[in-house]
Every structure is written in C-alpha cells, then in structure tokens.
C-alpha cells in the first residue's frame, strides 16, 4: 500500500565553488594551463595580468551572497522603483581587480609557457613511405595494401582478422576482396622494415625477425647452426621457451647447455614490439612530460619547499567590466534602470562573481597544495635529506590529514597525479604513502624499505637457481622482518618481478 508523507530533512550539499575547488585540486600542473585557458575563454570578465594594489578590502563572502540574493529578487520583481545603485557601489568601491591578491608568488622572472615537442616521423609514416615504393597492378590492390597498413597497431602488430579487413574494405572503399588476397598482400607488407611488422602474434613476429637474419659470409658454421636452432625453437618449442622449460628443450633437442644458451641468446636479441623505436600517434604511447608541482632543495642541511611557478598564474578581473559598473553608477545616480539595463548589470555581476570564485579557487589550491606538501616533507624529512628509501617512514593519508587539519579526501586529491622534484629525481607524491610492517624488535618500518631489500636480494640471486617466494620469506625473516610468504608474493608482483621459474637463466 502506497502512502504519502511529509518529512523535514537537513542535507549538507557542496556549493559550486567547493566543487570547483575539489576539481582544481586534483588537476596536475601539466593540465592546469589548459583548465585556465578554458575558463578565460568562457568568462570574458577574467583575464591574465598582474594585480593592482588594493584600495579597500572586499566585503565578506556572506555579505556578497546576501547582496546577490537581494539583487536576484530585485531583478525578478516588477516594481518600477527598482534601483541598482547600492549593489553597483559595492563592486566599484571594493575594486574587484585585486581580488585574491593576498597570495603572492614570485617566479624570479622565469617563464614556463610551453614545452617544446619534438617533431619525428611516426611509425605509420614510415610504413606509408615503404608502401609508396611497391609496384601494384591496379588501384584496387593498392587500396587493399593501404587498408592492411592502416590496421597495424602502435606495436607493429596486425591484430585484425582477414574477415574484418574484408568488411572494412567493402564499407570504406566498396572493394570486394578475398581472404587469399589479404594474406598475399600481408606477406609483402611483412617484408617491410622494421622486421616483424604486420605479425599477427608474438611467435610470428619473432619468426619474421629471425628469418630476416640471413646467414652471411662472415658467419662461421657454428653461428649459422645457432641461427637455425633459434628458428627451430621458435617454430616447434615456443611454449617451452616462453615458460623457460630449458631442461626439457635441451633434452629433446640434444643440445649442450652452452649451445642452448647461445640459441636462446639470439632469440632474446629480437624485439617483441617492432614499432617501439618510433614516435606513436596514439596518445597512450605518446611521450609524456612530467612537470613537477613542487621543488625541494637542500640548502646546507635545511630543506626549502617551493611551488612550481605554473601553479601560481596571475589572474584578475577585467578592467572593462569594472568601468561599465562605474559608468552605470555615474549615469544613473538616483534614476530608475530599465529592464534591459538591469539584465545587463546582472550579467556583468554574474561574470565578475564567476571570475572572483575562480581566482579564489586557484589561490586556495595553491595554499592547500603547499600546506599538504610541507607536511609530507616534514614527515619524510630524513628521506628528502638523504634520498635513501630505507629512511621512508610508514605514512598514510590520515597522518597528513591529522597534521594539516584537512579532510582525508582533500589530501588524496592533492597527492593524486602530483610530482615533487628533489635532488634525487622527480618523485610521485603517492610514492611517499605506504603501510607499515613490524620487525621482530617491534619497530614499525615502511613497506618501501622491505620492497627495497626484496629487490636487492633478487638482484643478487643466482639466476641459474633463483629464490622461490618461500626462500625470499626466510631471507627477509633472517633480516628481522616479520613477513608471510603471501606478502612476499604480493610485494614481488607490485614490483613487477616474475616468479622464480621465469627469472631463471642458463
């Protein structure tokens, strides 16, 4: 049975200004310029430029909101005695040009407006050049070849099935092709440079490359034999090779350890991604430039934190909009404003408010970022002095939130996609946050310290007999760390280190 009831609730909602600030907080420096340009294009009342000296302070935000509510109600009213003089006076006298100028930042005359991007020939450009050197019987055959080349991905592989390419040709060029035609044309393209281009899987990619290594006069009989053995392994023992079942291959191929090692060595020189040496047009593989949000310098044992100058843009409210309000006040003093004039003034006020809110959000972003990074620097002071990962203390978001008085979600937004430049390299802020692990003596250490020791142990192990996760656990426990085997496996996976069998070498 349905019922209708009335209830009163108190809900806490974020204001548009708070939402804007949260979005700005999580934007990295690399994309902040773009966000500012978008706002400059959308709001004509906002412009770039140095702030002018303040003559009078702004009224409180509460008063501004009250003024805006009153003005909105007055616009909606139909009374003829409507006047905007008081509202305009607030804006003219408060000098909105200098809004947000409490935060000052000097970039010491350095300007970082743009990053030079190198212009290079892309992989597909290179394939098109080679395509232009082929002789085709007719335009139809060339169209098939171009469709295949266009279907090769950023790694150099052709991962589309022939039937899909046939459909593409029928849809885009009204060409009816057969699977045999596709495969025959593909064979010609697979002879392109770099070797391995157009392969449909890793096995075919390696085979294409090893077939391009034609035995030369300079090769002796043993080298030619090794080359043929490498091809045989890829052809007939590819699964055993990928799983590093070396003893099985050695037994079935009747090879000595040295012979197998040489054949495997030839395979390891091949490139699993033929297109990796070329600039990619795909955004996922394009060169990404890291712009640090913070800079930490060691000045005679004292750490100095600064904010990247890109995070402190000089923004102001457009003079023209302030002058329009001043002119209206002068020309309509004591007079009634028409409906169109009221609408124009409200539009100007809305744009100025929006500009002020954005400037204020940028200022708050700067202050919040500095406050958070300063707390992180103090918490991890020993690391920033020495660069030794073993000096990293266990630190979680709540630790920084408690120090700064900020919400955990705010700290998380600041740490997201942000970088700090130190004398030991540029680090991601998230790298400084880690859980703790207890030693046998009861001391809490950062998991980064354990991962560093784990990496060193694996680096120095005998690659003929790599340590299992159980053995790694025992070695860490001998060093005083209380750790389980499953935790070792988890840390190893996080470090992108394969299992012992895949680390084995001949």
Give residue-wise pLDDT tens across range 79-120.
Answer: 433 444 555 555 545 544 444 444 434 444 444 445 455 556
For residue 395, the cross-strand partners are: 434
The CA-CA-CA angle for residues 34, 40, 41, to 5°, reads 90
Q: What is the pTM of this model?
A: 0.54
400: confidence class by pLDDT, cuts 50, 70, 90 = very high
Q: What is the DSSP string of 189-243?
A: HTTSSSTTTTBSSHHHHHHHHHHHS---TT--HHHHHHHHHHHHHHHH-HHHHHT
Which residues lie closer than 8 Å to 45 by C-beta, 6 or more apart? 317, 318, 321, 348, 351, 352, 354, 355
Question: What pLDDT is recorded for position 374?
Answer: 93
Place of tokens 């349905």: 2
> Rounded distance, CA 456 to CA 418, Å?
28
pLDDT at residue 87, rounded to an integer? 52
CA distance 506 to 500: 13
Contact call for residues 246 and 504 (beta carbons, < 8 A): yes
Predicted confidence at residue 377, as pLDDT, reads 92
The secondary element (H helix, E strand) that includes residue 315 is strand 315-317
What is the model's pLDDT at position 106?
40
Residue 52: pLDDT over 80: no
pLDDT score of 336: 67
Weakest mean pLDDT among 17-26, 173-182, 199-208, 305-314? 17-26
Residue 426 pLDDT > 50: yes
| Proportion of the chain above pLDDT 70, given as a percent | 77
67 has pLDDT over 60 = no
Contacts 24+ apart (CB under 8 A), 112-115: 112/308, 112/309, 112/310, 115/289, 115/291
Burial (CB < 10 A; 0-12, 13-18, 19+), residue 250, is middle
pLDDT score of 216 more than 90: no
Q: Report residue 464's pLDDT band, with 50, 70 and 90 as the boundaries.
A: confident
Mean pLDDT of the chain: 77
Q: Whats the size of the chain, residue-wise?
A: 506
CB-based contacts of 328: which residues, under 8 Å, 6+ apart? Answer: 84, 88, 337, 341, 345
SS (HEC) of 1-23: CCCCCCCCCCCCCCCHHHHHHHH
Question: How many angstroms separate the CA atoms of 440 and 80, rounded?
Answer: 83
């Amino acid at each position: 049975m349905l019922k209708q009831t009335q209830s009163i609730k108190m809900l806490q909602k974020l204001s548009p200004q708070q939402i804007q600030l949260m979005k700005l907080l999580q934007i990295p420096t690399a994309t902040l310029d773009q966000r500012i340009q978008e706002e400059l294009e959308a709001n004509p009342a906002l412009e770039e430029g140095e702030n002018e000296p303040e003559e009078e302070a702004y009224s409180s935000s509460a008063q501004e909101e009250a003024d805006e509510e009153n003005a909105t109600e007055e616009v909606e009213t139909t009374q003829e005695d409507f006047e905007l003089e008081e509202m305009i006076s607030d804006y003219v006298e408060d000098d909105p040009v200098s809004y947000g100028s409490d935060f000052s930042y000097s970039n010491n005359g350095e300007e970082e407006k743009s990053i030079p991007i190198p212009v290079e020939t892309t992989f597909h450009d290179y394939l098109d050049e080679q395509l232009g050197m082929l002789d085709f019987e007719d335009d139809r055959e060339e169209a098939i070849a171009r469709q295949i080349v266009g279907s090769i991905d950023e790694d150099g592989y052709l991962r589309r099935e022939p039937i899909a390419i046939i459909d593409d040709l029928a849809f885009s060029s009204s060409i009816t092709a057969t699977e045999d035609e596709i495969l025959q044309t593909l064979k010609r393209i697979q002879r392109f440079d770099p070797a391995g281009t157009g392969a449909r899987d890793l096995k075919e990619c390696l085979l294409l490359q090893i077939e391009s290594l034609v035995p030369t006069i300079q090769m002796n009989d043993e080298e030619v034999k090794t080359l043929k053995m490498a091809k045989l392994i890829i052809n007939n023992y590819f699964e055993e090779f990928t799983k590093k079942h070396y003893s099985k291959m050695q037994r079935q191929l009747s090879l000595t350890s040295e012979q197998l090692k040489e054949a495997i060595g030839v395979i390891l020189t091949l490139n699993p991604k033929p297109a990796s040496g070329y600039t990619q047009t795909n955004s996922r593989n394009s060169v990404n430039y890291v712009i640090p949000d913070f800079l930490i310098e060691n000045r005679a044992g004292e750490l100095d934190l600064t904010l990247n100058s890109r995070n402190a843009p000089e923004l102001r409210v457009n003079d023209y909009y302030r002058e329009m309000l001043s002119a209206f006040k002068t020309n309509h003093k004591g007079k009634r404003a028409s409906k169109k004039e009221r609408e124009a003034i409200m539009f100007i006020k809305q744009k100025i408010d929006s500009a002020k809110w954005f400037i204020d959000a940028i200022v708050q972003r700067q202050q919040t970022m500095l406050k958070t990074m300063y707390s992180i620097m103090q918490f991890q002071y020993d690391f920033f002095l020495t660069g030794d990962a073993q000096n990293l203390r266990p630190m979680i978001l709540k630790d920084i939130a408690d120090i700064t008085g900020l919400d955990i979600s705010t700290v998380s937004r600041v740490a997201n996609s942000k970088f700090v430049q130190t004398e030991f390299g540029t680090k991601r802020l998230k790298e400084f946050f880690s859980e703790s692990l207890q030693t046998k003596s009861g001391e809490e250490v950062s998991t980064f310290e354990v991962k560093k020791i784990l990496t060193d142990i694996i680096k120095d192990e005998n690659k003929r007999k790599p340590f299992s996760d159980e053995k790694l656990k025992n070695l860490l426990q001998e060093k005083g760390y209380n750790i389980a085997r499953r935790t070792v496996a988890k840390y190893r996976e996080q470090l992108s280190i394969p299992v012992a069998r895949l680390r084995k070498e001949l």
